[in-house]
Amino acid sequence: MTPTADDFFALARSSPWRWTTLHLRHRSSDLRGRYGDQVEVWLARPDGIRLRGADGTPVPLNLDSQRRDGRPTGPWRPPAATYRPDGLVADRPDLDDDDGLFWENYSWVAMLDPVELSHDVDVADVRVGVRAGRPTWEARLRPLEAYEPRCGCCSLLRSPTVDREEWGDRFVDHRYPDHHEVALDVQTGVVVRQHPVGGEQGGAWLENDILEVDA
């Protein structure tokens, strides 16, 4: 069955209720070669984050919210949500900003919980795909005027409205993407691909290869 735009929105708001632990390889423009072009990541709620670079070297975390053993200062569990008949979230309560899994910036948090893609986004060409051997739902996305990212400085979809609110006229001459190609992992709801199409060269992008879920 081909998913609809409403299905895509529902999956984008469902991620915190669809996994507890993740093991993945992450690549993005934010890494800029600092960790060998990718990092290998272990994520656990409520245990926190562990990362290592492509050469196997551990990537240090320096967060006030993390304990020495890498776990956040308190447990985290998603509160009750309202579900659709297919098991995706129909209506979700407010959650903490990062549930203890913050790293680098809020685009990281948004890729793990892409609720910002569940509303105020134009969705086209929704289709079934496969990434790293796993089923995905993929689409062409354009931010609408009311699009509100987790953080204005690092939204998943580059938007002139968001940039203007965050930076004033700093990017007044910037050529924005025509759209963004986005893929969500069906099991987890995590963003596994976000690539801008058109606009300035070198725009922010990310990819994730999910290796294990709730192992």
pLDDT of the residue at 100: 64
pLDDT of the residue at 72: 47
Q: Is 26 helix (H, G, I), strand (E, B) or coil?
A: strand
Tokens of 122: 């134009």
Would the pTM count as exceeding 0.75?
yes
Residues 6+ apart with CB under 8 A from 147: 116, 120, 121, 155, 157, 159, 161, 162
DSSP-derived letter for residue 115 is G
User: For residues 158 and 176, what is the distance between their CA atoms, to the nearest angstrom?
Assistant: 7
**pLDDT tens digits for the chain (215 residues)?**
899 999 999 999 999 999 999 999 999 988 877 787 899 999 987 667 888 998 889 887 755 445 444 444 455 567 899 999 999 999 999 886 656 678 888 899 999 999 999 999 999 999 999 999 999 999 999 999 999 998 888 899 988 888 888 888 877 788 889 999 999 999 999 999 999 999 887 688 999 999 999 98
* Greatest C-alpha distance within the chain: 47
81 φ, ψ (degrees, to nearest 5): -125, 165
pLDDT of the residue at 166: 84
Tokens of 38: 């990718």
> What single string gives the DSSP state of each residue in the chain?
----HHHHHHHHTTGGGT-SEEEEEEEETTTTTTTTT-EEEEEETTTEEEEEETTSPBPP---TTB-TTS-BSS---PPP-EE-TTSSEEE-----SSTT--BSBHHHHHHHS-GGGSSSEEEEEEEEEEETTEEEEEEEEEE-TT---SSTTS-SS--HHHHHHHHTTTTTT----SEEEEEEETTT--EEEEEEESSSTT---EEEEEEEE--
In 3D space, the residue among 30, 184, 38 whose CA is nearest the CA of residue 116 turns out to be 184
